[in-house]
Amino acid sequence: MAPNVLALLPEYILTITGVLVMLADPLFPDEKARKPLGWLAILGTVAAGLASWYQLRFGVLHAFYGTIQVDSFSVFFHLLIAAVALVTLLSSLDYFEGHANVAGEYFALVLFGATGMMLMTCSVELLMVFVGLEISSISTYIMAGFRKGKAPASEASIKYFLLGSFATAFFLYGIALAFGATGSTRIDAIAQGLATTSAPTLAFLSLALIIIGIGFKVSAAPFQVWTPDVYQGAPAPVVGLMSTAPKAAAFAVLLRILFSGFPAYEHRWAALIWIIAALSMFVGNLGALMQRDVKRMLAYSSIAHAGYLLVAYTAFPADGIASACFYTAAYAAMNVGAFTAITIIGGYNERARTIDDYAGLALKRPALAAALGLFLISLIGIPFTGGFFGKFYVFSAALHSGNVWLAVIGLLNSGIACFYYLRLLAALYAKPAQQNEHATYSPVTVPAAIALTFTAVATVLLGIAPNRILGLAQRSASVTTNQSSPLQPSAGTVSSTGTH
């Protein structure tokens, strides 16, 4: 296979499937459900995941004049994005209820969005990253407003679009300044250009603008204001997708830019990330404490998790990158799982909104309540779940690098977080409130059950046997750091923390 084909195989598969879905959509009668298109999209996503796995055996692949670099780092995130897209598609197959005849565009948008995210993670050229970021963002803006005729949905879409475009402008301006300071927009060339640049302040300014742009995308404080409103108004399966996959891609981009592009400025950006991480944890957790709406609560929780994840960035590169990759995977599994459960419980018309609406769920739907409970336990970070090991690796990486205070802040915040997760967990197993006694829940369909089982198994496996994913994460970390600066201190690997 030609290198240009092989290196972008998953993206090609997703794009072609997306176009097929678009072309096949008008062939259906107007009022007919578009479920077969959903299955086609699922097939394409699985094929893209397998193609990504297949790329792993070729080591590092370069394509398109060095714009694309496929290595174990990108494959790790490709698999993650494909898995999230798969779960989203499975849980949305029966989501649309009476509106299933318009779902064709939705399935195509999920596929195109995943293409953009994958391009972001395998690109070493900032302009390519920018185009990928725009593809993924624009698809999510549209999907956020997919429930037409509902005011919160329109609000979510418009707000997300305006603030998101604003953030992308920051990112683009950062790229332009990086080009001005170093003469290139290619990440490795930027690292070389930094050594000889005559405008170091300009270079740092460019990095700061890039961090602001990505901070918006991953909803880190103080760039988080859009998150609660957008998550509340967007359809639940879309929130599951956009709270994990685009964030994972943005975190991957940030890892590459910081550790391969700007390692020379580590002492300066580490301070910025420190502040953003601490602020995100506090804003997220304290904000979540005050929410009664479950989707808003999980929005604040996702801000807090972005904070935990950023803690890893302040650690030594080898430790930090591996633990950040692992945390992204664990967070994706449990968060997408939680939103799958919410999708099934609430349905298209969001029958369950506040915590009170979830009261007594365990009596009527014990399996569903148990699954949601598992995800909440993992989000708290209780042992034998993926969330526990994620936090464990991140905080121990921070401690190893001497970042004691940030680790302390993180642990403190994990304590605060217990309150609001447990409040929902307690509601699930409490006696149903008066008005809830006759609440009806739609039956759990087979695809949704598969999605729920898949995420639950992933969450548990990451908690019982984290070594396999951690091994993959460490392989990714080695790819990202080996081309960088002489400034790096020799760092122990995460495995030295006694997990094997």
Partner 1 sequence: MQLALFIIFGLLAVAGAVNFLLQRHPINSALSLVVVMMSLAVLYWSLGAEFLAAAQVIVYSGAIMVLFVFVVMLLNAGEEERTHGSRAAYIAGFPGAAAIFCLLSFVFLTNGKAFGSTDLTSHLTHAVNNIAEISQVLFKDLLLPFEVTSILILVAILGAVVLARKEQ
Give the interface with partner 1 as residue ranges (CB under 8 A).
15, 19, 22, 63-65, 67-68, 99, 102, 105, 108-109, 112-113, 115-116, 119, 125, 127-128, 130-132, 134-135, 138-139, 141-142, 145-146, 148-149, 180-181, 183, 197-202, 205
Smallest gap from residue 342 Cβ to partner 1 (A): 23
Q: In the complex with partner 1, which residue's Cβ is closer, 145 or 386?
A: 145
C-beta neighbour count of 180 within 10 angstroms: 14
Q: State the DSSP string of 1-69.
A: --HHHHHTHHHHHHHHHHHHHHHHGGGS-TTS--HHHHHHHHHHHHHHHHHHHHHGGG-SEEETTTTEE
In order of 188, 278, 338, 369, the CA distances from 363 in angstroms are 57, 39, 19, 9
Smallest gap from residue 275 Cβ to partner 1 (A): 20
Q: In the complex with partner 1, which residue's Cβ is closer, 43 or 199?
A: 199
Q: In the complex with partner 1, which residue's Cβ is closer, 109 or 427?
A: 109
Which of the 8 DSSP states describes residue 70?
Answer: E
Tokens of 293: 């709406």
Distance CA 114, CA 282 (A): 31
Counting beta carbons within 10 angstroms of the beta carbon of residue 494, is it exposed (0 to 12), middle (13 to 18) or buried (19 or more)? buried
Distance CA 247, CA 120 (A): 11
Tokens of 231: 């998550």
Smallest gap from residue 266 Cβ to partner 1 (A): 20
CA 397 from centre of chain: 21
Smallest gap from residue 308 Cβ to partner 1 (A): 31
Q: State the DSSP string of 249-281.
A: HHHHHHHHIIIIISGGGHHHHHHHHHHHHHHHH
Sequence-distant (≥ 6) Cβ neighbours of residue 29 within 8 angstroms: none
Q: In the complex with partner 1, which residue's Cβ is closer, 80 or 203?
A: 203
Q: In the complex with partner 1, which residue's Cβ is closer, 147 or 247?
A: 147
Smallest gap from residue 206 Cβ to partner 1 (A): 11
Smallest gap from residue 39 Cβ to partner 1 (A): 20
Smallest gap from residue 107 Cβ to partner 1 (A): 11
Q: In the complex with partner 1, which residue's Cβ is closer, 130 or 395?
A: 130
Q: In the complex with partner 1, which residue's Cβ is closer, 132 or 337?
A: 132
